[in-house]
Chains A and B, each alone.
Chain A
Amino acid sequence: MACKKYKEKIVLHLYGELGENDAKDLMAHIEGCADCAEEFAYTQKIFQVLDETKTDDIPEANWEKCWNTIDVGIQGKERKKKSFLLYPRWAYASAALLIVFTVGFFFGRMAFLKPAESRSMLLEGSQSAMYPSIQEHFESLKPVLVEYANYTASPENGTITIDKNIVRNLIIQNILLKRMIADEDPSTKEILEDVDLVLREIANQEGDDAHTLSMIKELIQERGILYEIEVSKTI
């Protein structure tokens, strides 16, 4: 009976999960018990073999296939929510992933804060807790918006070319932040709505259409988006 207990302890000891006193007790028992000494030696050897055969050889997942399935899985749920019908299919999958990322970022950040800071973030509610994510989003938007706000239609200036994938990601990030901030912060929500309009125009921009570029510039200026973004930093 006692040996059975020690055999369990051998496994825990080899995993480094046995306390100091228990480990001493185990070693003392092993010294006086041939059966357990043999068991210890064999188990140690087995562990050595298990370690020798360990491999980090993990294949690459087919992410595209995975996202397509996630997309379909989420669409099934989202179909009931009419507000989401306005967005294309890629937005569902990317939105799901970005929600996971955004919430992850926010809570991950909280996990690294000191307990007092973390507590105060929770106490202040989701509005202020979202603040770092919103500011980060605004920072990623700024170079794009500045580029369009400074556009002047002339033959020398040519056109503005921005990777559509970057714009798509910004749109999704914008959608998510809008959804998460909901009605808790109307002024930020309003900025996000204006940004949404601008980003959609940029996403739909075809070639070097000077008229569209000027229209985007006017939109940014009329709505004072860059100014609003700067002001939001001071709040």
Chain B
Amino acid sequence: MLFEQNRKRIFSLAYQYTKNKEDAEDILQETFIKTYNYLDKYKVENETNFSSWIYRIGINCSIDYLRKKKNKKEDFSDWDKWEKTIGSNHSNPEHTIGLEQLREKISHLVEELSPRQRMTFILKHYQQFSIKEIAEYLDCSEGSVKKQLFRAVSAIRSPLKKYLWEKDYGMQKI
């Protein structure tokens, strides 16, 4: 069912974006309330398909949600704290890392991106939309999406490269 699909798609996107179930639920609720409120506008100005329209509302709600949350947070840079917890595994003589640790590291790096960069990266890397589709969803040019994507990948790549090198994750072979 279309409704069922939309509900799941939006929750999945919101969860990948926030990495928090409660936040993703808040975004889902906000998306459906906004959809209901703007339904008349959709019927009048309809140019796009309904699923894309509601998905776009979901994307905007996610970005707005994160912006508001970041503004509220006085200190959202808990990088040092994270580094101490995860990075303390140096006691391991082999310096190897588990998949879960790596996931956490990547998740943290993605969290450090700006709300828009994060959304661009998630839509491309995890939701696998084309640059053209992302441009439509974010209502911007393809060039702008490419720039955001490059910046996002660069911001993740450098610290991750360093981290993988330190943890001997096959980077020396290159």
State the A residues within 8 Å of B (CB).
Answer: 7-8, 11-12, 15, 17, 38, 41-43, 45-46, 49-50, 52-55, 58-59, 61-63, 65-66, 69-70, 73-74, 77, 96-101, 103-108, 110-111, 126
Q: A49-B164, A61-B28 are in contact. Are A74 and B171 (CB under 8 A)?
A: no
Kindly identify which residue among B6, B21, B28 contacts A100, using a CB–CB cutoff of 8 Å.
B6
User: Min CB distance, B164 to chain A, in Å?
Assistant: 7
Which of chain A's residues have a CB closer than 8 A to the CB of B60?
Answer: none
Q: A38-B174, A101-B2 are in contact. Are A59 and B39 (CB under 8 A)?
A: no
Tell me, yes or no, whether B140 is within 8 Å of chain A by CB: no
A52 to B54, CA, bound (A): 30
User: Min CB distance, B95 to chain A, in Å?
Assistant: 16
Contacts between chains A and B (CB distance < 8 A), count = 122
Q: Do A52 and B12 have beta carbons less than 8 Å apart?
A: no
Q: A12-B146, A52-B99, A99-B36 are in contact. Are A43 and B21 (CB under 8 A)?
A: no
A105 to B4, CA, bound (A): 11
Chain A interface main SS type: helix
Q: Do A74 and B33 have beta carbons less than 8 Å apart?
A: yes
Which of chain B's residues have a CB closer than 8 A to the CB of A17?
Answer: 130-131, 146
User: Min CB distance, A30 to chain B, in Å?
Assistant: 14
User: Min CB distance, A138 to chain B, in Å?
Assistant: 19
Q: Do B153 and A58 have beta carbons less than 8 Å apart?
A: no
Q: Do A8 and B99 have beta carbons less than 8 Å apart?
A: no
Instruction: Kindly specify which of B44-52, B67-75, B79-87, B111-119 makes contact with the partner chain.
Output: B44-52
Which of chain B's residues have a CB closer than 8 A to the CB of A59?
Answer: 15, 21
Which of chain A's residues have a CB closer than 8 A to the CB of B46?
Answer: 107
Q: Do A43 and B2 have beta carbons less than 8 Å apart?
A: no
Q: Do B32 and A46 have beta carbons less than 8 Å apart?
A: no
28 residue pairs bridging A and B, Cβ less than 8 Å apart = A7-B150, A11-B149, A15-B124, A15-B149, A17-B146, A43-B153, A43-B157, A46-B156, A46-B157, A46-B160, A49-B160, A54-B126, A58-B15, A59-B21, A61-B28, A70-B33, A73-B33, A74-B33, A99-B39, A100-B3, A101-B2, A103-B50, A104-B3, A104-B6, A104-B51, A106-B50, A107-B49, A111-B51
Tell me, yes or no, whether B170 is within 8 Å of chain A by CB: yes
Residues of chain B in range 89-127 having any CB-CB distance to chain A below 8 Å: 99, 102-103, 106, 124-126
Q: Do B36 and A96 have beta carbons less than 8 Å apart?
A: yes
User: Min CB distance, B122 to chain A, in Å?
Assistant: 11
Q: How large is the interface on B (under 10, 10 to 19, 20 to 34, 35 or more residues)?
A: 35 or more
User: Min CB distance, A176 to chain B, in Å?
Assistant: 11
Kindly identify which residue among B25, B43, B54, B171 contacts A45, using a CB–CB cutoff of 8 Å.
B171
Q: Do B29 and A100 have beta carbons less than 8 Å apart?
A: no
Q: A58-B12, A100-B3, A104-B50 are in contact. Are A65 and B153 (CB under 8 A)?
A: no
User: Min CB distance, A84 to chain B, in Å?
Assistant: 12
User: Min CB distance, B33 to chain A, in Å?
Assistant: 4
Which of chain B's residues have a CB closer than 8 A to the CB of A8?
Answer: 146, 150
User: Min CB distance, B62 to chain A, in Å?
Assistant: 14
Q: Which residue from chain A places its CB closest to the CB of B4 in the assembled complex?
A: A101
Which of chain A's residues have a CB closer than 8 A to the CB of B130?
Answer: 17
